[in-house]
Structure 1
Amino acid sequence: MAAKGAPKSVQELELILSGDNKVKVAVDGVLRGKFISKSKFLSVAKDGFGFCSVIFGWDIHDTVYPKELLISNRNNGYRDLLAAIDLSTYRRIPWENDVPFFLLYFLDPETKKPISVDPRGTLRKAVSQVEAKGWQCISGIEFEYFQFQETPYSVVEKKYVDLKPLTPGMHGYSLLRPSLNNEYFHDLFDVSLKMGVDIEGHHTETGPGVFETALAYTTALRVADNATLFKLIAKSIGIRRNILPSFMAKPWANLPGCSGHIHVSLKDTSGKNVFSLSPDEIKQGGRKDARYEDVQFISQEGEWFISGLLDGLPHVVPLLVPTINGYKRLAGGEAFWAPNKLTYGYDSRAASIRVISPPSCSPSATRLEIRIPGADVQPHYALSAIFLLGLRGINKKLVLPFPPVSQQQAQGDEAQVVKLPTSLKDATEKMMQPGSIAREILGNEFVDHFGGTRLHEVNVWDSAVTNWEREFHLQILGFKVLIVF
């Protein structure tokens, strides 16, 4: 789905930019980009331009990956890639004098084929596989995120401890708390709309200074772009008001983490929700499942999609939880509504896959909510994995391997539930195993590169000395020994 007012040709582009002298472009993931002159932009709008490949060879702090990964490395001289401009992503940035803005995707300069690890290219490829079946990938994303009364300078001076929350206390769905920072709270909503990032819901969430924002349900690529841009919007608005929003999954050990729940469904060419039941099935009280003595209000294709997720999710967890810190959020489990087991359930927030269907919603709104990701999720990668696993389940007509979580709890079968990997290291090693489902759906090149970047973060973490270690060990002269007589 193109952004409102997006040009359909280079000729339209020239008209849109008639009053401008520069353009801003960016690559998705950790948003990186630059300004280029209008004349340069118009000259490369059709065929693209060279962009240093090191953006795929850096971590988030611009440290070059020590392992020579395939896309960008010392051996290939950190060569240029071909940056193609996606005209459909046209927007203007309200806080930068409405400068025109476009997103990019990357091609190999020799073969002109998409780069395997480009976030937008990865999702475009996944979506095209689903579209080959005559279906459209539809999604929505919800972010929870802390806000601090801090600046980029103050957090460094404080060494990232003793940060002041935007508001104290736990105030989920509060009508009063946004009054304390009224302009900032409303700017997040209003500026997002100006930038073409549609929002369905916006409110306080439980936790000191925590907000939750639900991005409007739309096509998968559009919502993934919107999710990345929303983080940019929040940080850009916040920095102008000495407010620092954080999309870290688990900033504090004793407080709930921040989720990045992803809702998905499929739509056919007539606009019908592929996961919804037919009117006759709804009149009959749903689809009966004799195996689990259950009534289902989701279609057979929807059930196969769920089965595909259950079969493959353990192999793709790093695409849903990509950081060391994200697994601290999952460690809290159901106590913090962060499911860390392989489960599904009907309108159950205790399950990792929540099935939202009648009577909880209208048939047209039938969908799945994937509750594993935190706010640190890379949305293009996560959606690629989700839709490819679901499509695999449909193609293979996979059956549900166990009953919904409510029946497991009632029957005392919870001990049989598979736990998801509990660390980035374990999750990445499982993803990178020969013959993994991740390799099957995403390809070896993607898995080897992305897995290499995740193992780099593991190595950085393993060599780090944390405040906890100093607090726990600095004054201890030796280990206590318990002697039993």
Structure 2
Amino acid sequence: MSNQPLSKDKVLQLLAEQNTEKVKLAVTDIDGILRGKMISYEKFVSIVEKGFGFCNVVFGWDAGDVAYDNSGYTGWHSGYPDATAAIDLNTFRQIPWDNDTPLFLADFRDSKGNDLEICPRSLLKKIIQQAGDKGYTPYFSQEFEWFNLIDNTDQLYAGNFRDTKPMTQGMFGYSLQRAAEKNDYFNDLFTLLKKFGVPIEGLHTETGPGVYEAAITYSEILEAADRAVLFKSGTKQIAHNHGVIATFMAKFNENLPGCSGHVHQSLWSTTKKQNLFYDKKTTTGMSSLMESYMAGQLACLPFILPMFAPTVNSYKRLVEGAWAPTTLTWAIDNRTTALRALPASSSSTRVETRVVGSDSNPYLAMAACLAAGLYGINNKLKLKIPATVGNGYADKKNGTLPKNLWDATQAMKTSPIAKQLFGAAFVEHFTATREWEWRQFSKVVTDWELKRYLEII
């Protein structure tokens, strides 16, 4: 990753100087899972400009590689042909835990060479362009909580997915003791991810057995989303090398806290390089632009929730009193509300969208945050909802969030606002994938049902 645009010649020069034999290429599917392949250096040279073919099944199957039966984009009816993936040279990184193998990210084009409407990274780029047309440069960052489990993959796949063991015991939030107990892993995360071009601003244990939280250093939004995607994938790989399973499920255990993926965001003037969310003349330090941005998110939240909470499991986290918001609320530095405003200074004033789960696709979560904020600015929305005082879970007068993936998906599917923000093609495809996810869950007989009904009914 470079701060300056990289040319083809510069990239090839760098790889040649390192006697590169192989290169990894990666794309992100609708669930935010990094998919990819390794190719020879010679093959990379031949596709670096024109792109490469990648089976479009990555948008035709779910997280478990089961093919959708409700996708118009691809399926058995299309024969799953290749789609063209275009390499973004500015994503160049070397993987420090894999012999410094070069890695590049790519996104997809349609048959006419335009950005593919259903590609998550392409969608984010479209929303970024809308911000740029108004003179805004968005700066974002995402922070993640995740559980770390002792790796017993063979037992899990033998049918014992309930038989998990946390890496450390006890709750121990912000514990130096627990971090020191897995010192090599803890330090490798910080050091190797920085070498990987994913700098960590802070890393600590969270409340729960084996839970860590990391805040990724902020950057321009596309780079921020790339970092977030690579953080999740990189963390899983580093964890594996330490005998650990890192899980970013939103709710790993019903008796333990859920895992968030909060998104921090601000808009800066592209020409003046000023934080447009800060206004020293107001009593709060918040500008009217920031208030409109927040008003837009509050107005759109009920119709874009699956982009923040994309799985059945996501909604096990979004329950009252569990450090995850359930109401359409905001306040200054209040962790019980959907939006947490943090007006501090010209350099740090920002808004934190706390609805986002750790299981989110960072490209879609950031696209949704930015698009909803721009909706508020474009429509000159006023922040009419008063700031919550005290417990945001109890402040239901302005509405609550959908309770499950089906309800949230139907709200998005039928929403003119969602189609206005993201385009009809994306909304149709994305909501179909979420309906599929709900259907897969709904037909499964769970252990809860067996324990409750097997003997007594």
**TM bucket normalised to smaller:** over 0.9
Report the Cα distance in structure 1 between the residues aligned to 2:253 and 2:352, rounded to whole angstroms. 25
Q: How many residues align?
A: 451
- Preserved CA contact (<8 Å) 2:6 2:90: yes
1:403 aligns with 2:399: no
**Could you tell me which residue of structure 1 aligns to residue 205 of structure 2?**
204
Kindly report which structure 2 residues correspond to 1:1-400, keeping only aligned pairs within 5 A, or say none. Answer: 3-4=1-2, 8-18=6-16, 19-28=19-28, 29-67=32-70, 69-108=71-110, 110-157=111-158, 159-268=160-269, 269-278=271-280, 281=281, 286=282, 295-331=283-319, 333=320, 335-357=321-343, 361-400=344-383
Report the Cα distance in structure 1 between the residues aligned to 2:325 and 2:274, rounded to whole angstroms. 30
Letter in 1 for 2:355: I
Report the Cα distance in structure 1 between the residues aligned to 2:24 and 2:154, rounded to whole angstroms. 26
Report the Cα distance in structure 2 between the residues aligned to 1:449 and 1:347, rounded to whole angstroms. 36
Report the Cα distance in structure 2 between the residues aligned to 1:125 and 1:455, rounded to whole angstroms. 25
Letter in 2 for 1:263: H
Alignment deviations for residues 125-184 of structure 1 (CA, whole Å, 9 cap, x no partner): 110100101111111111011111123223223611131111110101011111111000
- Offset of 1:414 from its aligned partner? 3.0
When residues 446 and 356 of structure 1 are mapped into structure 2, their CA distance, relative to the original with a 3 A threshold, is same
Letter in 1 for 2:351: L
Fraction of identical pairs, as percent:
41
- Offset of 1:73 from its aligned partner? 2.0
Letter in 2 for 1:93: I
- Preserved CA contact (<8 Å) 1:7 1:13: no
- Offset of 1:296 from its aligned partner? 2.9
**Could you tell me which residue of structure 2 aligns to residue 428 of structure 1?**
409
When residues 22 and 429 of structure 1 are mapped into structure 2, their CA distance, relative to the original with a 3 A threshold, is same
- Offset of 1:47 from its aligned partner? 1.2
Report the Cα distance in structure 2 between the residues aligned to 1:161 and 1:257, rounded to whole angstroms. 17
- Preserved CA contact (<8 Å) 2:311 2:405: yes
Alignment deviations for residues 234-277 of structure 1 (CA, whole Å, 9 cap, x no partner): 11111122111110010111111011111010011221101000
- Offset of 1:4 from its aligned partner? 3.0
TM-score after normalising by structure 1: 0.90
TM-score after normalising by structure 2: 0.96
Report the Cα distance in structure 1 between the residues aligned to 2:410 and 2:5, rounded to whole angstroms. 44
- Preserved CA contact (<8 Å) 2:327 2:395: no
- Offset of 1:350 from its aligned partner? 1.1
Deviates more, 1:397-406 or 1:366-375: 397-406
- Preserved CA contact (<8 Å) 1:5 1:90: no
- Preserved CA contact (<8 Å) 2:108 2:116: yes
- Preserved CA contact (<8 Å) 2:69 2:75: no
**Could you tell me which residue of structure 1 aligns to residue 432 of structure 2?**
452
Say which SS state the counterpart of residue 176 (structure 2) adopts.
Answer: coil
**Could you tell me which residue of structure 1 aligns to residue 441 of structure 2?**
461
Deviates more, 1:258-267 or 1:153-162: 153-162
- Preserved CA contact (<8 Å) 1:276 1:299: yes
Letter in 1 for 2:316: K
When residues 413 and 262 of structure 1 are mapped into structure 2, their CA distance, relative to the original with a 3 A threshold, is closer
Report the Cα distance in structure 2 between the residues aligned to 1:87 and 1:234, rounded to whole angstroms. 23
Say which SS state the counterpart of residue 358 (structure 2) adopts.
Answer: coil
Report the Cα distance in structure 2 between the residues aligned to 1:116 and 1:420, rounded to whole angstroms. 27
Report the Cα distance in structure 1 between the residues aligned to 2:3 and 2:302, rounded to whole angstroms. 41
Say which SS state the counterpart of residue 103 (structure 2) adopts.
Answer: strand
1:414 aligns with 2:395: yes
- Preserved CA contact (<8 Å) 1:275 1:298: yes
Report the Cα distance in structure 2 between the residues aligned to 1:27 and 1:78, rounded to whole angstroms. 17
Question: Quick one: which of 431, 453, 457 aligns to 1:473?
Answer: 453
Letter in 1 for 2:442: D
RMSD over aligned CA atoms reads 1.6
When residues 262 and 415 of structure 1 are mapped into structure 2, their CA distance, relative to the original with a 3 A threshold, is closer
Deviates more, 1:261-270 or 1:423-432: 261-270
- Offset of 1:408 from its aligned partner? 9.2
- Offset of 1:74 from its aligned partner? 2.3
- Offset of 1:75 from its aligned partner? 2.4
Larger Rg: 1
- Offset of 1:94 from its aligned partner? 1.3
Report the Cα distance in structure 2 between the residues aligned to 1:415 and 1:11, rounded to whole angstroms. 57
- Offset of 1:193 from its aligned partner? 0.4
Flag structure 1 segments of 5+ consecutive residues without an equivalent: 287-294, 479-485
Report the Cα distance in structure 2 between the residues aligned to 1:192 and 1:84, rounded to whole angstroms. 25
- Offset of 1:431 from its aligned partner? 0.1
Report the Cα distance in structure 2 between the residues aligned to 1:264 and 1:59, rounded to whole angstroms. 29
Letter in 1 for 2:80: Y
Letter in 2 for 1:201: G
